[in-house]
Amino acid sequence: MIKKWFIPIVSLAVLFSAAPAWAAKSVTALPIGFFSAQHPKDSELDQEHKHGKGRMTRKQFEAYRLEKLKEIATYFGIQAEGKTAEQLKKEVEAAKLANKDKWEAFKAEHQAKRLEHLREVAKEHGIKTEGKTSEQLREELYQLHGGKGKRPHRLEDHNRAKQDKQNGNQSEV
C-alpha cells in the first residue's frame, strides 16, 4: 500500500517545494509598469466610474455630499469649517438623534422645496399641478417623456415591469 502512494507523494512534495522559487522568479520577470496598468490611479477612476447614472464622478459626488452635510450642519447650528467629512457626518448624526423634531422639520422643508421644483417643471410641460402630490407629478412627467430614463431601482417600476410581463405571458398562453 505504501509503495502505491510513495511516488505521487514525493512528486507533489518536489512540485510544492519548487513552486515558491518559480513564483518569485516570475514576478521579477514581469515588466515594471505591469502592476500600475492593472490598478488605475485615482484620476483615471474619476474619469471612468461615474456615480448616479453616469452624471457624477466619485470626486464630484463626494463634494456634493459634503455640501449637503454642511447645509444640514448650518441648519443645526454646527460649525462646519475646518472639519473633515467624517467628523461632520458624526456630529450631524448626533444632532439628528438629539433634535428629532428639528430634523423632521428640515426634511419637511426640503420636501416642500422638491414639490415646488416639480410644480415648476410640470407647468413648463403644460401639466396642471393643483392638488397633486410629488409622486403624482413625478409619474406624469415620467409618462410625458415616454418612459425615458427608466428607474429600475424604484419599487413601483419593478412592480410595473412584473405586471407587464405577466400580462404579456397571459396573452401568449
Q: What is the pLDDT of residue 41?
A: 56
Tell me the C-alpha distance between 76 and 74, whole Å: 5
150 or 6, which is more confident?
A: 6
Which whole number is the average pLDDT over 78-106? 91
Average per-residue pLDDT in the chain? 76
Tell me the C-alpha distance between 134 and 123, whole Å: 13
pTM: 0.51
Q: What is the pLDDT of residue 102?
A: 93
Q: How far is CA 108 from CA 70, 74, 105, 113, in A?
A: 18, 17, 5, 9
Check the CA dihedral 22-28-31-35 and report its sign: positive
The one-character DSSP state at 52 is T
The one-character DSSP state at 58 is H
Write out the E strands in the chain.
Answer: 50-51, 56-57
* Residues pairing with 56 in the sheet: 51
Q: What is the pLDDT of residue 28?
A: 57
Is 95 within 8 Å of 78 (Cβ atoms)? yes
Phi and psi torsions of 48, nearest 5°: -85, -55
Which whole number is the average pLDDT over 74-99? 91
Tens of pLDDT, residue by residue over 13-40, are 877 777 666 566 555 555 565 555 555 5
Q: Is 129 exposed, middle or buried (0-12, 13-18, 19+ CB in 10 A)?
A: middle
Tell me the C-alpha distance between 27 and 43, whole Å: 27
Tell me the C-alpha distance between 28 and 81, whole Å: 48
Is 85 within 8 Å of 92 (Cβ atoms)? no
| Of 72, 104, 98, 99, residue with least CA distance to 85 | 72
